[in-house]
Amino acid sequence: MVATARIAQVAQGLLLVAVSGSPLCCGAPGTKAPTWSTDGPALGDSPTALAMVEALQARHRAPETVTFTQRAVPYDENGPQAAQTMDEWLRIPGWLRIDLSEPEPTSVVFHPQGRTMITASGRRDGDTGSTVMLLMLDVFAQDPGTWLAQAEAVGLDSAVVSAQEWDGDEAWVLGAEAGQLDRTQLWLDAESLLPLRYLEVQPGQGGQAVVLEGRASQYRDFDGVPFHTYFEFFQGGELRLVEVYDDVVIDGVIADEIFDLEVIAAQLAGDTDEVGAALPSRELLPPGVLIPADVEMTPLSPHVAVGLSGEVAVSYAVGDEIWVSVSPDGGERFAEPVRVGGRGLLGKGSSRGPRIAVNDKAMVVVGLHGKQLMGQDGDLLAWRSTDKGATWAGPVQINDRKDATKEGLSAIAAAPDGRLLCVWLDLRMGATELWGAWSLDGGASWGENVPLYRSPDGSICPCCHPTVDFDPQTGDALIMWRNAIAGERDMYVARIVDGVVSEAERLGNDGWQLNTCPMAGGGLDVTTDGKVLTAWRRRHDLYRASPGKGELRLGSGQLVRVAVGPQGASYIWQQQGVLHATVASKELQLGEGNHPWLASAPDGLGPVVAVWEVASEGPERVVCRVLQER
């Protein structure tokens, strides 16, 4: 408790200054430092502070946003104390948020007016002295003249510039001459101009000045943006805190709600049980509107998930970014769409695209991202939201072998107890195999990748997406995929019990001899009493079946899905560009459309919700329709 209280005190205003503001010049102790750009204007022998800031900005690309996790280890006279992990969001210029879980859930927000600490019991505003910390972050992006004026206002004498040494290397020091360690000052590496060291003088007890010092090291290059991953904080010359940064994401999307003090207070007070209920910027759209007509976007590759309480989450691609729309009332009305994020190119198409899952712990969306895609590269990245889709953190890479998931065919499902299982077609062994990974913390981290099925003939069908779901009665996972054995491309299903995969079972009465991939996965759902329902294609026809039972023909078509609601199983399928569905055993024609998906709440009480694409440019391209109400 003492250690975590000390960390909270530091977060309130002592440090956390160079969370992003010390990009790079040095490597880890004992390692060779990375090489950073020295392009830009020459400084000469007696540069001014303005010239140095201008040169720094000319040499290095500034991030607009940074998200990361921090492992903070406090120190006292007895050495290191218990560590704590924090989540952090940075928007340059001017904003930094740090979330702590102990001794109570707390958010500390640094903003242009100062700092604010928020807990479930209320908020406390700090003085504007903490803007010195924001200056350290903003030096890469703020107008140089504006930055210097702000620095001077908080005690840094920009008229004083000296050449000194740090760790055997030359450095420029803004704000102090050699030996003047009782002044606020910033140290820059003389070659790269990246911040090394920061000293800030603050008033202490009894009128004694206290010198706070931060040192940055172990730097990494994040897509051309320098960012340090190790930081030491000293108070009065004594080591007080070590911070290690991980899961760093540069220029990801950070929703405005992350820095909204009223939203944060509502979240910590527990007043955000429903999206739109306590989030002032999450007003619900008119009934039937998924994306406002005046929003300039064309969504593609929609997917849908339904939570235990009936909330509906629809994910889709907009360009190479993932977006999500959430309905708190079973699909009747949606909140404004939220941009989740992206990294490089995003896989899209009838069987590819973002996949979303929902449980009581989180909403998690997974997408294939790479620099080339098209089977050349690609990793599965996951984002998570713990406030019902209002804000998103991540991404976290799921596959532990780079590019093993480059085929881009995956599925994700959420168990009622909070577990998540992501499965995909994996290429790490040379053949196409079915692999998976579990998350036990709502998508914040993912476990070791595990093989789930290998065909005795070498590869399973390489271009048909797998499917995964959970048995709400037992908690077991069910997986379904198209196999390739003795020239037949048939659907198989298996059950995972306590991590052990059962023997694979073929579905249907007949085999499909085929020398190519039909690019047709299937649909899978489980009733509340444990009955497994599947739907899939063979030749030009669509079938439904339960393992060990005979098949029943649905009709002709291509893609087919199944979901269970209060009126029984509903199916949706695509036939020559027209969508068909069944509700209460009655067939409906939904009109023209492609790439349908179907989902329902795991308790079987609904809603059952379908999404698909239509031939339209603009926000109306993705359609969402409730087939069975809750």
Question: Any idea where the domains of the chain sit in the sequence?
Answer: 2-250, 282-628
Alpha-carbon dihedral sign for residues 441, 442, 448, 450: positive
Q: Which CATH number fits domain 2-250: 3.40.109, 3.10.20, 2.50.20, 2.170.120?
A: 2.50.20
Q: What is the pLDDT of residue 495?
A: 97
Beta-bridge partner residues of 537: 542
The parts of the chain modelled with pLDDT lower than 50 are: 1-33, 128-132, 272-281
- What three-state secondary structure class fits 479? strand
Q: What is the biggest distance separating any 2 CA atoms in the chain, rounded to whole angstroms?
A: 88
527: nearest Cα among 582, 629, 606, 413: 606
Work out the angle between the directed axes of helices 131-138 and 144-153 (0-180°, nearest 10): 160
Phi, psi of 326 (to 5 degrees): -125, 135
Q: Identity (one letter) of the amino acid at 596?
A: P
Q: What is the pLDDT of residue 12?
A: 39
Strand order in the sheet with 578-583: 560-565, 568-575, 578-583, 586-592
Q: What is the pLDDT of residue 133?
A: 54
Q: How far apart are CA 424 and CA 76, in angstroms?
A: 47
Q: What is the pLDDT of residue 104?
A: 80
Q: Which CATH class is domain 282-628?
A: mainly beta
Q: What is the pLDDT of residue 15?
A: 36
Q: What is the pLDDT of residue 1?
A: 33
Q: 471, 493 in Cβ contact below 8 A?
A: no
Q: Can you say whether residue 277 is alpha, beta or left, with left for phi > 0 and alpha for psi between -120 and 50 degrees?
A: alpha
180-209: pLDDT as tens digits = 998 989 999 998 888 888 888 877 666 678
Residue 370: count other Cβ atoms within 10 Å of its Cβ: 22
Is the pTM value of this prediction over 0.85? no
Q: What is the pLDDT of residue 152?
A: 85
- Look up residue 35 and give its DSSP letter: P
Mind spelling out the 3-state secondary structure of 394-459? EEEECCCCCCCCCCCCEEEEECCCCCEEEEEEECCCCCCEEEEEEECCCCCCCCCCEEEECCCCCC
Q: How far apart are CA 506 and CA 268, in angstroms?
A: 49
Q: What is the pLDDT of residue 585?
A: 85
Q: How far apart are CA 355 and CA 126, in angstroms?
A: 42
Give the side-chain half-sphere CA count within 13 A for 525: 28
Phi, psi of 59 (to 5 degrees): -90, -25
Tokens encoding 172: 């420029």
Strand order in the sheet with 594-600: 594-600, 608-613, 622-628
460: nearest Cα among 427, 479, 482, 480: 482
Q: 276, 263 in Cβ contact below 8 A?
A: no
